[in-house]
């Protein structure tokens, strides 16, 4: 029997690694904190949030400027400033966690694409070499 000369099969990634990568890409087995950060980032990055936030700010300021009795936050709006600072202090790390997860997913996709492209390149080179042999 003749041995076929063909493309050598190379396993560039382990099966267990690729299964883990695929599960990660499909967003299975996310923790509660990861799900919360993703959904909060999605909500905070929407126009609905921005517009509702402007409405909230307008209501807060107008209620404190035009109220005759018991203004809880007079003109310089120190309490509003505190609320906004606390909101920014809590939102920023949560959004960064979500962005880090997205960057990690992108890195895994890029790594998988790289391995596929390398394999395809090796196969194309082998085909070219075989064609050159037949043409000679």
pLDDT at 4 over 70: no
Does residue 1 fall inside a structural domain?
Answer: no
Domain span holding position 108: 28-135
pLDDT of residue 29: 80
Q: Of 21, 10, 7, whose CA–CA distance to 116 is shortest?
A: 10
Cα angle 119, 11, 7; round to 5: 55
Q: And the tokens for 32?
A: 């509660």
Does residue 92 fall inside a structural domain?
Answer: yes
Does residue 61 fall inside a structural domain?
Answer: yes
pLDDT of residue 70: 75
Kindly report the pTM of this predicted structure. Answer: 0.58
Q: What domain count does the chain have?
A: 1
Does residue 131 fall inside a structural domain?
Answer: yes
Give CA–CA dist 44/36, Å, rounded: 12
Does residue 8 fall inside a structural domain?
Answer: no
Does residue 88 fall inside a structural domain?
Answer: yes
Q: Which residues of 91-115 are buried (b: 16+ CB within 10 A; e: fewer)?
A: eeebeebbeebeeeeeebeeebeee
Does residue 67 fall inside a structural domain?
Answer: yes
Does residue 106 fall inside a structural domain?
Answer: yes
Alpha-carbon distances of 18 from 15, 45, 116, 119, rounded to whole Å:
5, 32, 12, 15
Band (pLDDT 50/70/90 cuts) for residue 1 is: very low
Q: Of 30, 41, 24, 32, whose CA–CA distance to 94 is shortest?
A: 41
Which of 34-43, 70-79, 109-118, 122-131 comes out lowest in average pLDDT? 70-79
pLDDT tens digits, one per residue of 28-42: 688 888 888 888 888
């Amino acid at each position: 029997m003749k041995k076929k000369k063909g493309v050598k099969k190379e396993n560039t990634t382990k099966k267990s690694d690729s299964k883990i990568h695929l599960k990660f890409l499909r967003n299975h087995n996310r923790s509660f904190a990861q799900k919360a950060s993703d959904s909060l980032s999605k909500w905070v990055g929407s126009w609905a949030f921005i517009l509702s936030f402007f409405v909230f700010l307008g209501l807060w300021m107008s209620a404190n400027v035009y109220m005759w009795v018991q203004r809880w936050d007079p003109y310089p709006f120190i309490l509003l400033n505190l609320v906004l600072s606390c909101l920014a202090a809590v939102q920023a790390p949560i959004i960064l966690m979500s962005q880090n997860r997205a960057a990690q997913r992108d890195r895994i996709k890029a790594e998988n694409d790289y391995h596929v492209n390398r394999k395809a390149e090796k196969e194309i080179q082998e085909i070219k070499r075989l064609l050159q042999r037949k043409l000679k």
